[in-house]
Amino acid sequence: MKIKLAHLKQEKNYTCLPATIRIVLKHFKVDIAEGLIAKVSNTSKRGTNLEEAAEGVEAFGFKAIELEEAGLAELVEYLDKNLPVIAVVDAEYLPYSKIGLHAIVVNGLEGNRISFIDPALGERTFIAFAHLLQSLGRSWSLRPRHISQAQAENQIPQKEKIGNFMLNHMWINHEFVESASKQRFEVINPATEEVITTVPRGNAEDAERAVAAANAAFKPWRKMGSLERKEMIHEIARKIREHGEELAALITHEGGKPLIENRDEVEWVASCFEYYAELGRDQIGRVVAPAFEHQMSLVVKEPYGVVACIVPWNYPILLMAWKVAPALAAGNTVVLKPSELTPLCNLFFAKIFAHLPKGVVNIITGYGKEAGEPLVTSKGTQLIAFTGSVDTGRHIAMLAAQQLKKTHLELGGNDPFIVCDDVDVDIAVRAGAWTAFLNNGQVCTSAERFYVLEPIAKKFIEGMAEFSKSLRLGNPMETSVDLGPLVSDAQRRKVEARLAQSVQQGAKVLSGGKRPTQFAKGYFFEPTVLTNVNESMELMRSETFGPIAPIQVVKNIEEAIERANASEYGLGASILTNDLEKAMLAADNIKAGTFWINDPLTDNDAAPFGGMRLSGNGRELGLEGLDEFREAKHILIDYKLEKKSYWFPYK
């Protein structure tokens, strides 16, 4: 099948030229004409004509056609009559430039997906492409640049908006919308420091719109049969896997985590939705023994209502799933507010959630103070589920307390990692490096304090320093890379400041500790191993969230446990040992929501995850995670209505 090129010429009162026609596909497959660009313009302006352009494309097996006096209306008509046609026109002065569209490549061209590359499309041309690609059953994405809410509502039919799936618009009540303020903010690729796109800067008005939609959807969603709801949640998991590569690439582009890790994250997300799809049909309550004759006591668990899910950037869709999946399974509706650093992968879920009833899930974007806080203070939300910093968690708890509103908070960690002297040191080094440096240490349960028993300390420390130097930093889209950049310049500066402070206090850098010199751009930082550290250092007392492994030598397991507990946090803790007695001694005595023995950082959908002390309240995953989104009601039944001896008047 050949690709036909359509060319817009001048028409009356506006200029459609100069234009660049880009060849997007060679066939309706993955085959791409790399670097093939035919320059086409009005000969009086640019001196390049269609014949020359046609010569260039014919060499690649394309057929070029000229629409002599075609304008936008004619192009739409032509496309309707001559499907399939691909005509991607990048024009400087389209008549509908105010609602022009700039495309974004989500994951190149794979399988049956089409992603347009940087065309500025007139709105009518865009609709033509919408009809074209939908008629072909193609999956596709464009990102709008300048489009107002009124123009979107009035000029782009709803099915085109859904088909187009606008990555950089909020999603409220199944509608892609701008923010009330029309303000936007940039999403940056941390590996290149380039702007990927802009997204709406949501505010209190947007939050209330989303909350209203979720409240309107709550009653029918709650009353839906568990079997039907189960099937809808399973469909979410199926669609996640269908779009897995696109999702993984999006997370990589905006968050900097290596693609190979994001593929895992996508699978974990699908698994989480599958788990709660089934669990939501089970464990809905219990029957308890009657207190008196003729009675029955039922304990049922009911959804809260509208849940505000405020999620972080380090595992942006996994930590979303840990909240949204059980919330939906329990019968709640949701307003989702992703981090301002990684909004796109959450906005992608508008496509994943599109089969749900209107308003069941809504997605707003913006900064915490402007878009997140209004969700907390809104009288229309009944539960706040948040993952983030301790300071923000405290603030949320105080705001929610004004309405006695339930909060579910997974906050920071300062996890200890104990290495006993009975282990294979090479294995311990691999485990330690993975736990400290996975995602550049930007994991809530990263190992942030190492306690190594004295007999193996020297070998372990040397091994960690050498192994850290072998880790491969680079483009996170490459599967041969171990570490990408930190998520932002601010995060890198925080890590650098924390490290510099520790060095001033006597810490010794054995490896890393600086920005790598081989990258001109990107928020890269070398994995760092430190010794000569102590509990007086901020590095050892609070969460750093960076690729730093501070190591302390201890005499025995008792000292290791004592030092492990010398923290205000209690999210996770790990031990490496072949001695079950030591392992259980540590597990019994260290304050942590999750304790790993010989396999750190792994999770289980069926087991709870959460923190103690400053690391938060409540649990995610498991039955406990489902119960966070349900409240218990006692229904007492007396089979027989009769006068009771304990009623008034007393005898």
Q: Could you report the per-residue pLDDT of 135-192, keeping only the tens digit for each? A: 444 444 433 334 333 343 343 333 333 334 567 899 999 999 999 999 999 999 999 9
E strands, 201-316, in order: 285-288, 295-303, 306-310
Of 71-85, 521-535, 630-644, the one with minimum mean pLDDT is 71-85
Q: Which residue bears the tokens 């430190």? A: 530
Q: Could you report the per-residue pLDDT of 427-467, keeping only the tens digit for each? A: 999 999 999 999 999 999 999 999 999 999 999 999 999 99
What pTM was estimated for this model as a whole? 0.78
The pLDDT-based confidence of 121 (bands split at 50, 70, 90) is: very low
Closest CA to 486 of 341, 603, 319: 341
Q: Which CATH architecture describes the domain 415-597? A: 3-Layer(aba) Sandwich (3.40)
**pLDDT for the residue numbered 93:** 26
**pLDDT for the residue numbered 492:** 98
Q: Could you report the per-residue pLDDT of 13-57, keeping only the tens digit for each? A: 222 222 222 322 222 222 222 222 232 223 323 333 334 434 433
Residues 6+ apart with CB under 8 A from 637: 295, 296, 297, 298
Q: Could you report the per-residue pLDDT of 569-625, keeping only the tens digit for each? A: 999 999 999 999 999 999 999 999 999 999 999 999 999 999 999 999 999 999 999
**pLDDT for the residue numbered 18:** 25
Of the chain, the percentage scoring pLDDT greater than 90 comes to 71
Q: What does DSSP assign to residue 23?
A: P
**pLDDT for the residue numbered 367:** 98
Q: Could you report the per-residue pLDDT of 236-275, keeping only the tens digit for each? A: 999 999 999 889 999 999 999 999 999 999 999 999 999 9
Conformation bin of residue 272: beta by default, left when phi > 0, alpha when psi is -120 to 50: alpha
- CA–CA distance, 16 with 584 (Å, rounded to integer): 74
Identity of residue 81: K
Structural contact between residues 401 and 393, judged by C-beta atoms closer than 8 angstroms: no
Structural contact between residues 374 and 402, judged by C-beta atoms closer than 8 angstroms: no
Q: Is the confidence at residue 127, as pLDDT, over 90? A: no
**pLDDT for the residue numbered 168:** 82
Tell how strand 4-5 and strand 333-337 pair up.
Answer: unpaired
Q: What does DSSP assign to residue 203?
A: -
**pLDDT for the residue numbered 166:** 60
The full length of the chain comes to 651
| DSSP H or E segment with residue 587 | helix 580-589
The pLDDT-based confidence of 491 (bands split at 50, 70, 90) is: very high
Strand order through the sheet with 170-172: 175-177, 170-172, 361-363, 333-337, 306-310, 383-387, 406-410, 616-617
**pLDDT for the residue numbered 67:** 36
Cα dihedral sign for 496, 502, 503, 508?
negative
Structure tokens of 357? 């009833």
210-411+615-634 in CATH: which number?
Answer: 3.40.605.10
Q: Could you report the per-residue pLDDT of 324-341, keeping only the tens digit for each? A: 999 999 999 999 999 999
Q: What does DSSP assign to residue 476?
A: T
- CA–CA distance, 420 with 439 (Å, rounded to integer): 25
Helix (H, G, I), strand (E, B) or coil at 156: coil
- CA–CA distance, 538 with 507 (Å, rounded to integer): 12
Q: Tell me which of 409 and 198 has the higher pLDDT.
A: 409
Structure tokens of 643? 């006068």
The pLDDT-based confidence of 82 (bands split at 50, 70, 90) is: very low
Q: Is the confidence at residue 317, as pLDDT, over 90? A: yes
**pLDDT for the residue numbered 284:** 81
CATH 3.40.309.10 region(s) of the chain?
415-597
Q: Mean pLDDT of all residues in the chain?
A: 81
**pLDDT for the residue numbered 167:** 73
- CA–CA distance, 308 with 403 (Å, rounded to integer): 15
**pLDDT for the residue numbered 61:** 35
The arithmetic mean of pLDDT across residues 96-105, rounded, is 27
CATH 3.40.605.10 region(s) of the chain?
210-411+615-634
Helix (H, G, I), strand (E, B) or coil at 176: strand
Instruction: Indicate which residues carry an active-site annotation.
Output: 410, 444
Burial of residue 602 (CB within 10 Å: 0-12, 13-18, 19+) is exposed
Tell how strand 143-144 and strand 101-102 pair up.
Answer: antiparallel
147, 321, 490 from 348: Cα distances, Å: 19, 13, 26
Helix (H, G, I), strand (E, B) or coil at 310: strand
Q: Could you report the per-residue pLDDT of 530-583, keeping only the tens digit for each? A: 999 999 999 999 999 999 999 999 999 999 999 999 999 999 999 999 999 999
